Amino acid sequence: MQNGAVTLSETKRHPDFGAGFWRLADPKISLASFASMFLGACLAAGSRPLDWGWLLLTVAGVFAIEVAKNASGEIVDFDSGTDLGVTPEHRSPFSGGKRVLVDGVLTRRQTLGIAVAGYAAGLAVAVWIAVARALWLLALAGASVAIAYFYHASPLRLSYRGWGEAAVAVTYGPLLCAGVYLVQTRPVPFEVLWLGTAVGLLIGAFLWINEFPDAEADRAAGKRTLVVRLGVRRAVHGYCVIVAAAYLMLILTPAVTPSSPAVWLGGVAIPCSAFACKRLAAAPEETARIVPAQAASLFAFVLFALGTGLGALLA
């Protein structure tokens, strides 16, 4: 062990494909994509009855790409030393990577295989949907896959250059929300992009708060996340500003779109976000005290999507 970091020689290597795949699937993190898809589906249902077959196929394709992104990202973060540099006291259920290679749960070959299979499956689903619905949907799917892959990988390495937060907010927000809507019906109204952006901000904020425990390891590995670039204290203010912007967009929704005030049901998430901001500001460098704020940040975007989506349906 050097400076508290874990080396491979100190880990237990007992490959377990099922456990490793489960880590990469990571249901709690996958809630980000499901929240945005739920909102997009609710907004589409306001225009026409949902086609559940196409919706389930869309969810399956997105899930495959999600797993693939996590797998390819594990390889990049392992090779860069980022995951190895996360000390035990800075680990949390929401940050520090999936650690399938660090903990020896999967071999490198297995991890690569999952990544290749996931991207292939996701693209196959995208082609199927595009051929049946609209060929230009391939462009949307291609952009999503490219962002997922280059989030970690060269030459873009978005997460290493301070662009990861914006990439997540855009992809998991308006891009995914509009994509689900387009598979069901079209054209995409401004309301979908507006509300998709609002939930995307909260999902981006969830990524942001998860970067705090990893800041030291990221800095040492040359991973210049916004928390690393801004410094911990200024990054706290950045997190709170992003969260506030999401709720401001929600408040303004009936004024700038045809939406009913019923979408304000998304405000049910405000207590979670307020708690997360307060908790993070109190101890931004103490991982054990940040974990409840991370959980609250996750609940915030889930409740926001549920409340806003149900409000749209009620309207």
Average pLDDT, the chain: 89
- State yes or no: pLDDT of 8 exceeds 60: no
Comparison of pLDDT for 97 and 181, the residue scoring more: 181
Structure tokens at 101: 């290679």
Structure tokens at 291: 């974990």
Q: Determine, yes or no, domain membership for 236.
A: yes
Q: Determine, yes or no, domain membership for 1.
A: no
**95 backbone dihedrals φ, ψ, rounded to 5°:** -140, 175
Which pLDDT tens digit goes with each residue over 69-78? 999 989 988 8
**Domain region containing 257:** 13-314
Q: How many CB atoms lie within 10 A of CB 238?
A: 16
Give the per-residue pLDDT at 215: 86
Tell me the average pLDDT across 293-298: 96
When pLDDT is cut at 50, 70 and 90, the band that residue 13 belongs to is low
- State yes or no: pLDDT of 261 exceeds 60: yes
Task: Identify residue 170 by its one-letter amino acid code.
Answer: V
What is each CA distance from 54 to 7, 34, 50, 51, in whole angstroms? 45, 15, 9, 6
8-state DSSP, 189: P
Domain count, the chain: 1
Which pLDDT tens digit goes with each residue over 24-83? 988 777 889 999 999 999 999 988 899 999 999 999 999 999 999 999 989 988 888 877
Q: Positive or negative, the Cα torsion across 115, 100, 58, 200?
A: negative
- State yes or no: pLDDT of 234 exceeds 90: yes
- State yes or no: pLDDT of 93 exceeds 80: no
**171 backbone dihedrals φ, ψ, rounded to 5°:** -70, -50
Residue 70, domain CATH: 1.10.600
Q: Determine, yes or no, domain membership for 54.
A: yes
Give the per-residue pLDDT at 141: 84
Specify the range with the lowest mean pLDDT, choosing from 9-18, 95-104, 196-205, 223-232: 9-18
Give the per-residue pLDDT at 4: 42
Which pLDDT tens digit goes with each residue over 125-162? 999 999 988 887 888 888 888 988 898 888 888 888 88
Among all chains, which residue has been given the structure tokens 């389930």? 56
- State yes or no: pLDDT of 287 exceeds 70: yes
Give the per-residue pLDDT at 81: 80
Q: Determine, yes or no, domain membership for 303.
A: yes
When pLDDT is cut at 50, 70 and 90, the band that residue 88 belongs to is confident
Specify the range with the lowest mean pLDDT, choosing from 149-153, 196-200, 267-271, 276-280: 149-153
Q: Determine, yes or no, domain membership for 4.
A: no
Tell me the average pLDDT across 198-208: 96
Q: Determine, yes or no, domain membership for 17.
A: yes
Give the per-residue pLDDT at 156: 86
Q: Determine, yes or no, domain membership for 137.
A: yes
When pLDDT is cut at 50, 70 and 90, the band that residue 11 belongs to is very low
Comparison of pLDDT for 297 and 78, the residue scoring more: 297
When pLDDT is cut at 50, 70 and 90, the band that residue 109 belongs to is very high
Q: Determine, yes or no, domain membership for 245.
A: yes
